[in-house]
């Protein structure tokens, strides 16, 4: 795969992985992207997961033929991108590593060597001349690790964006970008919205025609669409008007209330996404909570607390900087109903949340009073 006569793709696809970062389900695998710029000097941008070192080195050699790299640029030290650094340095003893100072510290910690005699430390605004191509480095701390740099190549107007604009899924699988990019962003980068906003501000000053992320496809068309989504996600704005309902139910009574609410909202023309937290992919449910403008949490009192899946869900929302939402509650308690209070307490560290005035309090099974409460909640959510 080539981006141009001088910029080539040398990454790999991983279909052996089942859980990315040990928690995110990736049915279509992952891509570990790497790129090479061929000029008077040759730069390889990022390595790949260590399980694919041989394939990656073979890809580089196939593109370079009888030439060898001068530089390995390490934008991000997470092992899915840095795991083949040692192999590269063995294969190409004349090459130097270009990275941030923080990355070299991590390199020593991960792999026992920071290649002090072969390193070039760069910072914001540093440049690397390759010939007719020149890379300018952009610091992007906490997008989503502290050592991250991005690289802009000005002659071909390419932004090598590290993990930003990445997505789940290997490159040999055809799937919609936004769904898996959103789940990737919310789960992995979502907490760091303010840091993403700062990088987006820097990007406004660049003429970017191609975005090359470390996961997912190379982006070459309609870039305003992708940048616009990143702006929405990182500012915690509403992407889709509608309501997402996340619930747990032990004997079906809470589920019955949720189904009634979803039906009423749908009848009013409101887009609704429903997630059974005991059965769904938790990352998908979290993605929906960030995507929609309004959220309803429905659960039971359980062991003096709330049902474990709901407790995990709320904890994950708070951990990822959940904010700027309207939130309603449905609680169920047969003899000790405290679920709404506990759910609100769990969200207490989340900013800019507005709680609905109408809420539903079930005592074991849905009764006529609850039906009216559900109607009132649907009415308030539809405004």
Domain boundaries, the chain: 7-234, 240-381
Is residue 118 within 8 A of residue 89, CB to CB? The reply is yes
Q: What is the pLDDT of residues 338-377, one digit of tens each?
A: 999 999 999 999 999 999 999 999 999 999 999 999 999 9
- CB distance 86 to 60 below 8 Å: no
Q: Supply the angle between the helices 282-291 and 308-319 in degrees, to the nearest 10.
A: 50
pLDDT digits (tens, 9 = 90+) for 108-130: 999 999 999 999 999 999 999 99
Fold of 240-381: Rossmann fold (3.40.50)
The pLDDT-based confidence of 336 (bands split at 50, 70, 90) is: confident
Q: What is the pLDDT of residues 269-309, one digit of tens each?
A: 999 999 999 999 999 999 999 999 999 999 999 888 899 99
Mean pLDDT of the chain: 96
The Cα–Cα gap between 107 and 236 comes to 33
Which homologous superfamily is 7-234 in? Ribonuclease Z/Hydroxyacylglutathione hydrolase-like (3.60.15.10)
Q: Which candidate, 171, 165, 121, places its Cα nearest to that of 147?
A: 121
CA separation (Å) from 123 to 30, 75, 154?
A: 29, 11, 17
What is the structure's pLDDT at 2? Answer: 75
Q: Are strands 292-302 and 305-306 parallel, antiparallel or unpaired?
A: antiparallel
């Amino acid at each position: 795969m080539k981006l141009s006569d001088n910029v080539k793709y040398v990454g790999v696809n991983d279909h052996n992985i089942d859980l990315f970062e040990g928690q995110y389900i990736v049915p279509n695998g992952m891509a570990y992207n790497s790129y090479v710029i061929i000029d008077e000097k040759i730069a390889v941008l990022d390595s790949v997961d260590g399980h694919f070192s041989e394939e990656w080195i073979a890809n580089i050699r196939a593109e370079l033929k009888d030439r060898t790299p001068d530089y390995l640029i390490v934008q991000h030290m997470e092992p899915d991108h840095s795991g083949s650094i040692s192999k590269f340095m063995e294969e190409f003893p004349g090459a130097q590593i270009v990275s941030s100072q923080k990355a070299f510290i991590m390199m020593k910690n991960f792999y026992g060597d920071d290649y002090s005699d072969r390193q070039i430390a760069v910072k914001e605004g540093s440049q690397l001349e390759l010939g007719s191509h020149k890379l300018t480095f952009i610091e992007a701390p906490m997008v989503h690790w502290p050592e991250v740099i991005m690289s802009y190549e000005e002659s071909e107007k390419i932004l090598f964006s590290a993990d930003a604009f990445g997505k789940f899924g290997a490159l040999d699988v055809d799937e919609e970008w936004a769904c898996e990019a959103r789940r990737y962003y919310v789960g992995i980068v979502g907490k760091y919205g303010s840091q993403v906003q700062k990088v987006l501000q820097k990007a406004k000053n660049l003429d970017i025609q191609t975005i090359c992320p470390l996961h997912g496809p190379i982006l070459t068309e309609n870039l305003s669409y992708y940048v616009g989504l990143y702006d929405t996600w990182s500012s915690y704005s509403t992407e889709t008007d509608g309501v997402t309902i996340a619930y747990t139910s032990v004997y079906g009574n809470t589920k019955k209330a949720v189904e009634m609410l979803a039906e009423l909202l749908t009848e009013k023309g409101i887009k609704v996404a429903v997630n059974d937290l005991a059965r769904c992919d938790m990352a998908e449910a979290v993605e929906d909570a960030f995507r929609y403008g309004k959220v309803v949490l429905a659960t039971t009192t359980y062991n003096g607390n709330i049902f474990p899946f709901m407790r995990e869900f709320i904890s994950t929302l708070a951990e990822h900087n959940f904010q700027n939402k309207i939130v309603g509650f449905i609680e169920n308690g047969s003899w000790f109903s405290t679920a709404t209070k506990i759910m609100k307490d769990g969200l207490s560290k989340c900013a800019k949340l507005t709680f609905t005035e109408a809420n539903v309090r079930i005592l074991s099974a849905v009764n006529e009073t609850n039906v009216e409460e559900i109607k009132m909640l649907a009415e308030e959510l539809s405004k």
